Amino acid sequence: MPKPPPTILDTALKLHDRGLSVVPCNGKGPIWPGWHNKKRSREELAAALEGTKLNIAVVLNQTDWIDAECDSEEAEAKMQELFGGKIPPTPTWQSRRGKHRLFRRPDGLPERATIDIDGIEFKIGNGKGAASVVPPSVHPKSGRRYRWVKGLSLDDVEPAELPPDIVERLRAPATRAATVTAAGDDIPEGKRNEALFSKACALKAMDLPEETIATVLLDLNERLCKPPLSEQEIRSIAHSAATGESKVKVGFLARLLGDVELWHDENDDPFVTLPRASTAKTGLSASARAHSGGGFPSCTTTPPAR
């Protein structure tokens, strides 16, 4: 009789025992606050997963690894091209749309969560929170399990080194504005997380509360991301930006927030408005301007009297 596949709980504990930081996820969204900078105990991990259908993710910024994600046939073809058709044996798993590969993180990378090269999303987690859902987790939409490619699990091989030319491209200086789409442009696969996280950081830099950031991102996600990310992923992005230290410079705000409008009320408190075209989708109204923590209001769909 064939041996039954390992459970998510068994896998999570095994990864934890290897020294990795593992976080339970609702779909793709980590459920623990501060997941990116605090490793939980084995007991906490077991208690969170026991008797649930939660997935698991490895917190990359607490490892020496990065995840190269090819979520389309075109991205996979580019990956093969970058390696000259000879990708070295490295931990690889199949997700719904493509393959994920773990590589060793090279030195000298910019302080970013992700970097896009030719449609391939490199989750580098360098000074920023980044996590990758791993087998045997279940994809929240398809219901299919993530699975290791035969002979390329973490039990079979160690993460390989990236070739020097790819490392140089990852190290190449680039302003954040260059990675964010202009106002009204569609955000394609491979750029969604980075674009929305950049906008979230800009909103956080204005001291707006997490719920406001999440509301704006949900609207932008629905209108611009092709295809949209899940609500859990959006709320995870908003939480990461709201609880981390944003270093977005004021000079970038106008470019990063081209899809929303920034206002100040009679007390000079900042708030944001969504374009009128999105009102029917978000259902927001002037009553949504309830103040929270630090006195900053939430979103409204109509600008104040001027």
pLDDT tens readout for residues 101-129: 999 999 999 988 889 999 899 999 887 78
> For the residues of 152-193, what is the DSSP string, one character each?
-STTT-PPBPPPHHHHHHHHS---HHHHSPPTT--EETTTHH
Domain boundary among 111, 142, 171: 171
| DSSP code for 251 | G
In this structure, the answer to whether residues 212 and 107 fall within a common structural domain is no
User: What does each C-alpha distance from 176 to 202, 251, 255 come to in angstroms?
Assistant: 11, 11, 10
Q: What is the pTM of this model?
A: 0.61
Residue 303, domain member (yes or no): no
Q: Of 239, 219, 193, 197, whose CA–CA distance to 299 is shortest? A: 219
In this structure, the answer to whether residues 46 and 149 fall within a common structural domain is yes
Domain boundary among 171, 193, 211: 171
Average pLDDT score over residue span 261-270: 46
Q: Give 290: exposed, middle or buried? Use CB within 10 Å, 0-12, 13-18, 19+.
A: exposed
Q: How many CB atoms lie within 10 A of CB 247?
A: 10
Residue 231, domain member (yes or no): yes
Would the pLDDT of 143 be above 60? Answer: yes
In this structure, the answer to whether residues 100 and 32 fall within a common structural domain is yes
In this structure, the answer to whether residues 201 and 97 fall within a common structural domain is no
pLDDT in tens, 15-69: 999 999 999 999 888 999 889 889 999 999 999 999 999 999 999 999 999 999 9
Task: Give the whole-number percent of the chain exceeding pLDDT 70.
Answer: 75
Residue 1, domain member (yes or no): no
Q: Of 212, 241, 232, whose CA–CA distance to 128 is shortest? A: 241
Domain boundary among 171, 191, 214: 171
In this structure, the answer to whether residues 12 and 149 fall within a common structural domain is yes
Q: How many domains does the chain divide into?
A: 2
Write down the pLDDT at residue 208: 79
Query: Could you tell me how far CA 182 lies from the centroid of its own chain?
Result: 20
Q: Which amino acid is at 74?
A: E
3-class state of residue 34 by DSSP? coil
Q: Give 103: exposed, middle or buried? Use CB within 10 Å, 0-12, 13-18, 19+.
A: buried
In this structure, the answer to whether residues 118 and 227 fall within a common structural domain is no
Write down the pLDDT at residue 1: 57
Across the chain, mean pLDDT equals: 79
Residue 218, domain member (yes or no): yes
Domain limits for position 93: 8-171
Write down the pLDDT at residue 74: 93
Would the pLDDT of 304 be above 70? Answer: no
Would the pLDDT of 212 be above 60? Answer: yes
In this structure, the answer to whether residues 160 and 24 fall within a common structural domain is yes
Residue 305, domain member (yes or no): no
Q: Which amino acid is at 45?
A: L
Are residues 76 and 98 in contact, defined by beta-carbon separation less than 8 angstroms? yes
Write down the pLDDT at residue 168: 94
